[in-house]
Structure 1
Amino acid sequence: MIAEMRGQRPNPTISAISPPEPDLTPDQMIARADGMRDLLRERQAAAEAAGNISQETNQAMVDAGFYRVIQPRTFGGYGFDLPTYVRLVTAVARGCPETAWVLSLVLGHVHQLATYSLEAQIEAYGETGDFRAPEVAAPQGRGIPVPGGFSVTGAWDYASGCAHATHILLTFLVTDPQSGATTMRMGLFHRSEYEIVRNWEVIGMQGTGSDRVVMTDVFVPDYRAKPYPPFDAVPPAEAYAESPLFYGPARPFIVTESASVIVGAAEGALDLYEESFRARKATGPTGAPRQELAEYQLNYGRCRALVDTARAALLQTATDYMEIARRTHETGQPCSEEVFRRLTLVILQSIHLAHEAVDIIFRTAGTAASKKDAMLGRYWRNVGVLRGHLAHQSDSASINYGRTHFGQPPVGIA
């Protein structure tokens, strides 16, 4: 049944929320992520078997402040920049790509929240600033206009991190009863308003809990259901005066969320590759340790260069992103389509490089990497699944960059 509206719309007056550790620095946060690496590696198999990261792992990231890394300080976050975000997510992914995927997407959706009404944001962050929200951008639900908002029913697949959320962002279709026109809205819902149906069964990234969420006749008020995509929307200035990151273009940010996981996973695979060299001898006449043989040294060097270049490209685009965002914040002039598409292409190239490195690692590591419980095989499967994500299709992205550069409208999916 449709929930009754309680009281009036939220008071738009902002009461600043202090972060849990006001003096925490970016380097201290990254050091915490590095310190969790061994534990995350130990928990990989359990997460894959369970189809989700554990409550203990999630709580450890909450306690470490990871979910608040870029969240505005006004709303209880640390307000760090995008390069810090990249460093954090890659550090976690190095220990467990599935854990990093949950972290990266769930924390990254504060960027989406920033263009909701101020009332909705104050309500979502609450008194403590604890906000964790998956998002499903594909409109897999319907909204019926009712007084004050919409009654929403639907089933949304691929809701990564939905079991560890405080809220969720879901897109639904709305048909105007007079004109018959159909538009999209993205609703902001509380964790109590959806149920989870376990249907995530894949060969890689199984531990992300990317299950289906369902709801029936859930009321969402107008102020928590923004038009989607939010063309030309900007954050409320009174809450984001000191948060330029949120004035940057959406698409490069979205691709950075997943690219950070893939690059970090490649670093984790390279760690295992090196460990195997030090622990194993080559088969055949030489019987020498792998680390002493030229062919293994060559492959390690190639992969080291690929991973380091992927990381460097990703960090540089994050730095460029911040410069663009600050300029938009100061001048009000949005980033041009050509510039944000070009930035996205570099991010996608970092994914190519990381994927190439992991593929070389897997096919030269030996048969042991193919065992069902092999950690290196898990990294390879995880990166392979992520490489196929719709957002990572660089061919269509390259076509549309070229079309934009030469004055033609984009086509297709990217």
Structure 2
Amino acid sequence: ALQLMTGTTAAYLAADAAADLFPDVPNGKYALLSGHGTRPGRAVPAEGGYRVSGQWQFASGMAHATHIHSAIQVEDTGELRVLAMPKSQVTLDGNWDVLGLRATHSIDYHCTDVYVPHEYTYDATTSTPVNGGAVYRIGLVNMSAIGHTGWALGVGRRLLDELKRVAAARTGSRGAAVDTSQFHAEYATAEAGLRAARAWVNDVWQDVEKTLDRGELPSTEQDTLIRLVLNHTTSTVCEVGRTVHRWAGSAAIRRGPVDRFLRDLGTGAQHITSSPVVLQNCGKWLSGARPDARWSFLDLT
């Protein structure tokens, strides 16, 4: 999360602001950003910038951050922008009391009437980086999809590896469920599902990389598949999690890796990028119901 918000801020901010936050000096310390981008705050235009107020949620990595990354909506014009400002200018609500992903410290935060210079904001939908390479032409939401997709694949892989360790420890004991043909069949099915999802992820992103290498922007179909492959991968890993929970026995309920990753999966799968509404929008475009629509964040417009 910190890499996503720090990297995109460095890529999209105006040159002077980027140079201030990310000084190019030996052993220099640069800004680390955390925040939230799907619920915009209110930005009232002021001389040279905006007066910003708002309340944001799920600021993953906030404990490590020096600066805040937040979506804002400009009053009157409705323009969506993203700001970067010192963490000291917001109030941290510290309310991350959750079942899983506890270590992300994804707390809520708010501010009231804080001045932010215009050059420390950027167009939330931009696909034209000021700094950085071709990958930043995919835009903020697609950059986020890389992280969420990789997270889902990693959790699925770890859960199956942990179940394999549980099975090895229990095989040969009296009445061991892991010695049954049903366990072997379900493990194989889960392995196949995860590997198939990973193969499709690679296929979708290799196609996007080829487009970027040609100096082009992703098409609406590619934008759709980026969102769909994330949704599909998350759903597939949820099925993997159900298989692991069914066969891991006490390892799934006592403190340990299986328990922790099942809780992390249950929490992470609730992320808005994998929501049913995004899946519905993917279907609208792919089925031809909205052939002229384009993606704006997670909505078809």
Query: TM-score under structure 2 normalisation?
Result: 0.85
Distance 1:315 1:190 in 2: 37
Corresponding residue of 2:293:
409
Q: Does 1:383 align with 2:279?
A: no
SS at match of 1:158: strand
**How big is each residue's C-alpha offset from its partner over 1:179-214, in whole Å with a ceiling of 9 and x where there is no partner?**
xx4433321112333332111222222221110122
Distance 1:254 1:288 in 2: 45
Q: Does 1:116 align with 2:8?
A: no
Q: Does 1:235 align with 2:129?
A: yes
Corresponding residue of 2:210:
323
Corresponding residue of 2:52:
152
SS at match of 2:33: coil
**Maintained 8 Å contact 2:171/2:179:** no
Shift of the 298–160 alpha-carbon distance from structure 1 to 2, 3 Å rule, reads same
Q: Give, in angstroms, the shift of residue 218 of structure 1.
A: 2.5
What stretches of structure 2 of length at least 5 have no aligned partner?
none
**Maintained 8 Å contact 1:255/1:392:** no
Q: Give, in angstroms, the shift of residue 139 of structure 1.
A: 3.8
Between Structure 1 and Structure 2, the one with more strand by share is 2
What stretches of structure 1 of length at least 5 have no aligned partner?
1-104
Shift of the 368–342 alpha-carbon distance from structure 1 to 2, 3 Å rule, reads closer
Corresponding residue of 2:274:
392
Q: Does 1:192 align with 2:95?
A: no
Q: Give, in angstroms, the shift of residue 161 of structure 1.
A: 0.9
Distance 1:112 1:401 in 2: 30
Distance 2:283 2:179 in 1: 45
Equivalent residues in 2 for 1:2-401, closer than 5 Å:
105-109=1-5, 110-111=7-8, 113-126=10-23, 127=25, 128=28, 130-176=30-76, 181-230=77-126, 233-236=127-130, 239-240=131-132, 243-281=133-171, 287=174, 292-328=179-215, 333-371=216-254, 373-393=255-275, 395-401=279-285
Shift of the 306–137 alpha-carbon distance from structure 1 to 2, 3 Å rule, reads same
Q: CA RMSD in A?
A: 2.7
**How big is each residue's C-alpha offset from its partner over 1:301-357, in whole Å with a ceiling of 9 and x where there is no partner?**
2222222223333233332232222223xxxx4222122212332233222222211
Paired letter, 2:148: S
Shift of the 368–139 alpha-carbon distance from structure 1 to 2, 3 Å rule, reads closer
**How big is each residue's C-alpha offset from its partner over 1:195-246, in whole Å with a ceiling of 9 and x where there is no partner?**
321112222222211101223332211111223333xx4012xx44xx2212
Shifted more, 221-230 versus 156-165: the winner is 221-230
How many residue pairs get aligned? The number is 292
**Maintained 8 Å contact 1:150/1:222:** yes
SS at match of 1:135: strand
Query: TM-score under structure 1 normalisation?
Result: 0.63
Paired letter, 1:390: I
Shift of the 250–316 alpha-carbon distance from structure 1 to 2, 3 Å rule, reads farther
Distance 1:252 1:152 in 2: 26
Distance 1:171 1:305 in 2: 39
**Maintained 8 Å contact 2:74/2:81:** yes
